[in-house]
Amino acid sequence: MSNTSVRPKKREFCLYLLPGLCIYVFTALAPIVMAAYYSFFAWKGGPKKIFIGLENYTRLLSDEVFWKAFGNNMYMLLLSLIGQVGIGLCFALLLNSKIIRFKKLHRTLCYFPSTLAPVVVAFIWTIMYNYNFGLINATLRGIGLDNLAMPWLDLAKPIMTLVTIPLIWQNIGYYMILMMAGFSAISPEVLEMAEIDGATGVKKALHITLPLMKNTIMVCVMLCITGNMRGFENVYIMTDGGPGNASNLVALYAYETSFKKFNYGYGSAVSIGIVIISLLIVLASRVVIQRKER
Amino acid sequence: MRSLKKTLGVVLSMGILLTGCAGGATAAVNSSGSESADGSQPIEITLVHRYLEANVGVNSEDTAVLQMLEQFKKDHPEIKVVEEQLQSSEYNTKAQVLAASNSLPDVFTVQGSWMENFVNNGLITPIEDDLAKNPEYRDGFREGTFDVATKDGHVYGVPIAAGPTHVIYYNSQMFADVGYESFPQTWDEMLDAFEKLKAKGIIPIAMGNKNGDPAQSGWLAVIADRYTGSEWFESICEGEGASFTDPEFVSALKAFKDLADKGYLNKDLNSIDNTTMQNYFFEGKAAAMIDGIWAVTNIDSAAPQEILDVTKCAVFPAVEGGKGNPLSSAGGAGIYYCINSNVTDPEKRAACMEMLEYMTGKQCAEIMASVGGFPAYDPKDFDTTKLTPLAKEAYTLCNQATPSRIYDLWLDASIITTLNNGLQEMLAGTMDPENLAEQVQQSYADYLAFK
């Protein structure tokens, strides 16, 4: 580095970091540490707490609802990886190719759902799924497929797919923008060279663009994983985990345990469980990626 | 070292992303409750409750309580009331957080199912001595309305309303069209009427069970009571041997599931809320619906005139071989005003009690009854001229009905959540009544063991 003269001193570095660090400690680190502490107690709210050691955690390990919710999270993650990152990538590739016209319009329209609050998206889709006056059933009835009109959000089996669709719809634009940023980092000479060598369309995308975008894609995958582990809003609004526990998610379950069953001790244990599992998943995916790099 | 840094980075970034859920349980709210008047100042009472200005004229309880609170403020300018109004679900969350951080306001509402927990944690103060100073007020309440708030001989709260959670509002015209001049008197007749209504393409009876409560508090509590009788549930509450796997309770679940299986309930019952359910009824899509007594005010103001004219009230009929009283409906007082146990200053306590008398006493009861509510305080002979025909009918029905215990006021929240979720699954067709009974029994046994 030649410009060491403008580099601030270590002490200044720390000073600049301090405000951000304080906020972070207060809003993130402290609650997690507190939750970890509470998870060792039987605590139903109020000043009375009974220390019960690891009992909450042994209960968590054999809690059917929690593991069902975790399964739902994993299913949602799988769909989101395909739907959000996958479709986002396809859209980005298309927008970068020469086939598409009105690129700015398409880009704006694709990104638009991402500007909406999750609550709004969930409400829109709840109305679309409505049995009597929802858009989906109205369309089906309009084209004479009356027997296909369903009370969509009441169907226990496909419910996870149904609640994931709005999530995908909302987030495609976000990943698309990230991918497009990744594209613009690829130097145009490389692409020109490929074209001169005869690579076009799909071939160019598969052999040149994608390998060069690997890091961007990995960031997207990572964001998608963490985003899914805290999935909450849209399911909370659309079904509140129902029917029964069919669309329950781990974060929703933690909320339910603490604020509906008023079991704060166990609720904290559930939250800590989520943190641990999320860390394991993220670490596992990093290991997989790094091994591939070697 | 590099990998350590990376790990740390991952941990930190995960931490940021997960704050939302992990921090949920600990995020404390520091608002009201910490403020207190210093010696020379006039008395200040902090009050947080679940009644909303926006619901005045929509809900009978809100209308009466808030009107009387205004009156109290006018009559007692020397007492400063710092009030916060919250919608009931938001109120539940906030009150629980305030309770967990021990920063509840001076006066607040507590629902029956929280009572035991709040008492055990010493959050609320017994008020039987304060009530004894004003026997006329105390004795004016209907019999049994203090039951849920009474623990070990101490009274912890003042009831507000006592109406049933189960009233069948039905379109008498539609029932007359299928040959029933009034609501069917036996279960089999009712099924027959439903079958005929269904054949005409009408939803026989609508349910809006999205948040999981209605199926339990408005429906099952009464259906089950028809089968088991009240003693069974009292035995459950006291932990005296009754079990959720008892054949009577399972029969009740089966009868309930039967209604859904035969298509007598709306198909989208688990995904619509109460408001949508009422709309089905108002639009003539449904021939009947079940809601609490408090819905009268809204039906009167929101239903189209031609529907309102033919709307009548009923309760579920008796079942053959059932042990329950066919006139009973799940009811009794559910929400109580409680006083924080840190309110020890006698002058302040007196002021709180005075305020509660305004908000729950005779005048409040008269207002509530006159707009179609069912107050816990018996207004005796009040001015019925202002009552709408529907309100009058509902009031008479409630006065006749013996209240049976509302499940979610008497059972622990963990049991209720299991039951609510299970009922949703049972009505959606993904769980058997026997399985549900076992699950509820399991969570009941867990609760008894923990207790």
The whole-angstrom distance between B13's CA and the closest CA on chain A is 9
Encoded tokens for B39? 């010696």
Phi-psi region of B57 (alpha: psi -120 to 50; beta: other; left: phi over 0): left
ipTM score for this prediction: 0.75
Instruction: Give A141-163 pLDDT, tens digit per residue.
Output: 999 888 888 889 988 889 999 99
Cis peptide before A31 (omega within 30 of 0): no
CB contact under 8 A, A45 and B99: yes
- Residue A190 banded pLDDT, cuts 50, 70, 90: confident
> Which amino acid makes up residue A63?
D
Check whether B5 has a pLDDT greater than 70. no
Judge whether A67 is closer than 8 Å to chain B, CB to CB. Answer: no
Q: Facing residues of B265 across strands?
A: B205
Longest Cα–Cα distance of chain A, Å, equals: 75
- Residue B451 banded pLDDT, cuts 50, 70, 90: low
Collect all residues of chain B within an 8 Å Cβ-Cβ radius of residue A226: 13-14, 17-18
Whole-model pTM: value is 0.80
Check whether B235 has a pLDDT greater than 60. yes
Instruction: Give A84-110 pLDDT, tens digit per residue.
Output: 999 999 999 888 877 778 888 988 998
pLDDT over 70 percentage in chain B: 90
- Residue B2 banded pLDDT, cuts 50, 70, 90: very low
SS3 A144: coil
SS3 A18: helix
The whole-angstrom distance between A289's CA and the closest CA on chain B is 14
The whole-angstrom distance between B99's CA and the closest CA on chain A is 5
The mean pLDDT of B250-270, rounded to a whole number, is: 93
Q: Which residues of B230-260 are buried (b: 16+ CB within 10 A; e: fewer)?
A: bebbeebeeeeebebebebbbbbbbbbbebb
Q: Give which of A147, A154, A225 to mutate to test B binding, by max B Cβ within 10 Å.
A: A154
* Chain A residues 169-198 with CB within 8 Å of chain B: none
- pLDDT number for residue B327: 74
In angstroms, the CA A102 to CA A107 distance is: 9
Collect all residues of chain A within an 8 Å Cβ-Cβ radius of residue B93: 259
CB contact under 8 A, A242 and B210: yes
- Inter-residue contact B323 to B404 (CB < 8 Å): no
Judge whether A255 is closer than 8 Å to chain B, CB to CB. Answer: yes
Encoded tokens for A98? 């020469």
Who among B6, B17, B27 is closest to A226 (CB)? B17
- Residue A5 banded pLDDT, cuts 50, 70, 90: low
Collect all residues of chain A within an 8 Å Cβ-Cβ radius of residue B20: 230, 232, 251
Q: Give which of A43, A252, A259 to mutate to test B binding, by max B Cβ within 10 Å.
A: A259
CB contact under 8 A, A244 and B424: yes
A46 compared with B300, residue with greater pLDDT: B300
Judge whether A164 is closer than 8 Å to chain B, CB to CB. Answer: no
Check whether A72 has a pLDDT greater than 70. yes
Question: Residue A239's closest chain B neighbor by CA?
Answer: B271
Instruction: Give B44-77 pLDDT, tens digit per residue.
Output: 999 999 899 988 877 888 889 999 999 999 999 9
